[in-house]
Structure 1
Amino acid sequence: MRLDLARIRDAVSAIDPAFLRSPQFRSWPLDTALGCSVTLKVETLNPVRSFKGRGTELVVSRLLSERRYPSVVCASAGNLGQALAYSGARRGVPVAVFAAANANPVKVERMRSLGAAVHLEGDDIERPRALAREYARTEGAFLVEDSLDVDTCEGAATIALELLAGPARPDVLVIALGGGALASGVGYVTRQLSPDTRVIAVQPAGAPAMALSWRARAVVNTDAVDTIADGVAGRHPIPEVLDDLLEVLDDVTLVDEDLIKRGMRLLLECAGLVVEPSAALGVAAVLGEPERFAGLDVATVVCGSNVAPADFRTWTAPPGARSERVSSVRGAPGSPTPGRGA
């Protein structure tokens, strides 16, 4: 296991307080709708509207202490890039982000507004990943690879320190799974501090690579994705992260697009939360298997809210309502496809 509880506790001091002590609460209307007690850990009320800032704060803080690199670079679908741009700007560290040409325009705009130099090229995340590696080699920049860089996992793990600080521990923690930083970090701390809590990760059925890999106990790459949840839409799991997930997860489940949209709609109607599709995966899992969670104390992390208003209105509209646009992520070899959900 690459993660360490002592390091995770120490990490808190390196993270901007804007990302710490995020709200967590029960929504009684959501309890009624889902048939179980649900605690929401809300990671959207911060400068980058996602949990990613916890990890990038740790990464950039460590790099400054080492004083070995003049700048940082990453490949990103958007949330990691925003978080890295924020952490770099806060400390005067230049940031470059490589993203696919079809990256979420809301996320691209916010990366640039936070000061990152954003380069858009390629049909999917694999081209940006190669360009980021080349940039790191030629410019001497530090390459931040989400989930592979253990700091991104241990930064995310601080969420669980807060979630589990109270005397009551959930029966089940249901958490979104993309590249694995969130699931491995939060899952690891939960294993250490609340071993009786079951940890269930959730992926879209249209982007199941890590779920297939976890079930096979070996990396399974996929050829295509088809999901609105761009933040977790990946095709090539990282072996080291899979090894961690095999240690900390009890199960990985898949949800379809309709369940994701219903989860987004419920979070709006019952808790007043505007979320991106990835953040609704936990609620979607409960909607998909209500008998599995009936009567239990369930916790889930609402991990991001970087969503275009038009997309949100379309995805959360009641069935049969007229839609404004549809912006799902689809891809196959040679066509636009996201990578590890960063």
Structure 2
Amino acid sequence: MVAVLLAVVSGCTTTGGGAPDTGKDGRATLRGITLPSWYRTDYDSPAADRYLRGIRATGARWITLTPTWYQNRVTDSGMHTTEETASDASVRRIARRAHALGLKVMIKPHVDLPGDQDRAGIAPRDRHAWFAAYRRFLTHYADLAADTGTEQLAVGTELAGVSGDTAAWKQVVAEVREHYDGPLTYAANYDEYRRVRFWKDLDVIGIDAYWPLSGTPTTDPARLRRAWRPIRAELAAFAREQGRRVLFTEAGYVSQRGATTAPYSWTVSDRAAPGEQAAAYRALLDSFTGRDWWAGVCWWMWDDWPDSGETPARLAYTPHGKPAEAVLREKWGPAQGTR
């Protein structure tokens, strides 16, 4: 198991001028940024190569890809592709491009609902049928991950309405392992991870780390670091209890006033606050880098695709061209080589 856990974060040890990215035992941490897709051909966009180069220039060593299937109602018994689902061919091509640039890849398939409905509310009327459909969905991406040499796969994302069905998830994980030999995680929401009971079937604990850190807007990293302390202690204890490292499968902040009060929200404010976003990036990396039990972070997210963003870039989650990107470059160091 130690070898597997090392494989999860191998190749991410390059350091720049900032803090080291390894724990005291020498295990590396994952330095990643998510490149989501919102449409069938997003990953084939002419912007793709520019985005990948921009991600690598931050010092990132991983990208996360998020092909998404949909179900119409929370009670549906299955999920399906739509025009908003990244095509398999486009996922293959962008994985190949990422590898050519020396980036490692995590595929993190999502199941979503129409509009602004939260996937955590999915509660199928026929759970047996839903899990049968979900296993087909996941093994499809397990095959794609194996074929593309993808270095890590997530078996689910923020499915709190069904993540308590432990036996069903154990079956999901077992079937995925028949198709894919790499490390597996599950991306639990920050208020969900303690209710997940199948962590020991996986290789690393995944948490989407959207904890509110302040009651009022702040650009003070020290204040945010203090807010992280009890959370960090809780996560360290949980990692020891489970015998697994903790990966922040997502973490991010909009560049809006009040972003740290509700990191999970795209619409905290209509006032740009890039300094608050940067302070939040700095506080998270200061708080967790070098902890032996911490496996790293995949930031949400890089740029929206041209003409697809619903949130203006100056207010969005992207750190690109903002002080938060400078924090990444400082903490992670510039791209050096391919590993």
Bin of the TM-score, shorter chain as denominator length: 0.3 to 0.5
- Could you state the TM-score of these two structures normalised by the residue count of structure 2? 0.33
Structure number having the greater helix percentage:
1
TM-score by length of 1: 0.33
